[in-house]
Amino acid sequence: MEPETSTENEVEQGSKEAVLTARRSFVGILVGVGTAAVGALLAVPLVRFALYPLFARATNTGLSDLGSVDSFSNLSAPLQKMISISQRDGWRESVSEKPVYVVKDAQGRLKVLSTVCPHLGCEVPWNTQKQQFFCPCHGSAFAADGTRIAGPTPRGLDSLDTTVQNGHLMVRYQYFRQLVPDKEVVG
C-alpha cells in the first residue's frame, strides 16, 4: 500500500504545479497586455507631436510691409510689389517672394490683391495696354480693382487682409480655393 500512496502524492503535487504554472502565465499575460496598453496610451501624444507638421497645412502667419501709406497717395494704376513670406510646411520653414498688387477700390481706399488666378492658379499680371488684369492661361480678365470682367474665372481677384501700422500698409498673404465662386482661405 505504501508505493500507491507515494504515487498519489506525486500526481497531486504535479497537478498543483500545473495549476500554479497556468496561473503564473495568465498573470504574465495580464501584466504584458496592461503594460502594452499603458505604453500605447503614453505614446499617442508623442506620436501626434512628432507627426503634426506632416499633416498641418502650409501656413503663413506674418504681416508684410508694403511701405508707407503716403507713398500710395498718387496711385493711379495697380502697382506691383514683391513681398517675402515665410511658410512652414511640415518641418521645413521656407521664405519665398510673392507678387501682390496695391490698387484703389471705387471709394479710393487702398486694397491689396493676390495675383493668383481664382480659375486654375496662374499668375495674373496687370496689362497696361488693355488696362485690365489679364490671365495668360485661359484669358480671364479683371478690372483695376480686381473685379471679374470675363473668362472662366469663377470670381474676381482675391483681396488680401491689410492693416496700417505706424503709417505703413501691412498685408497678410494667404492662398484661396480655386474654381469656387466665393473666396475661401486654404492656407
**114 counts as binding ligand FES under rule CB under 6 A:** no
Question: Nearest approach, Cβ of 108 to ligand FES (angstroms)?
Answer: 28
Q: Determine if 117 is a binding residue for ligand FES (CB under 6 A).
A: yes
Question: Rounded to the nearest 5°, which phi and psi values hold at 92?
Answer: -95, 135
Strands 110-114 and 126-127: unpaired
Site residues (CB under 6 A) for ligand FES, limited to 133-162: 135, 137-138, 140, 151-153
Looking at 120, 125, 143, 187, which residue binds ligand FES (CB under 6 A)? 120
- Output the smallest distance, CB 32 to ligand FES, in A: 59
Instruction: Give bridge partners of residue 65 from the DSSP assignment.
Output: 170
Regarding 110 and contact with ligand FES (CB under 6 A), the answer is no
Integer-rounded Cα Rg, in Å, for the chain is: 34
State the SS3 of 121-181.
Answer: CCECCEECCCCEEECCCCCCEECCCCCEEECCCCCCCCEEEEEEECCEEEEECCCECCCCC
119 binds ligand FES (CB under 6 A): yes
CB of 111 or CB of 119, closer to ligand FES: 119
d(CA 170, CA 28): 64
Residues that bind ligand FES (CB under 6 A): 117, 119-120, 122, 135, 137-138, 140, 151-153
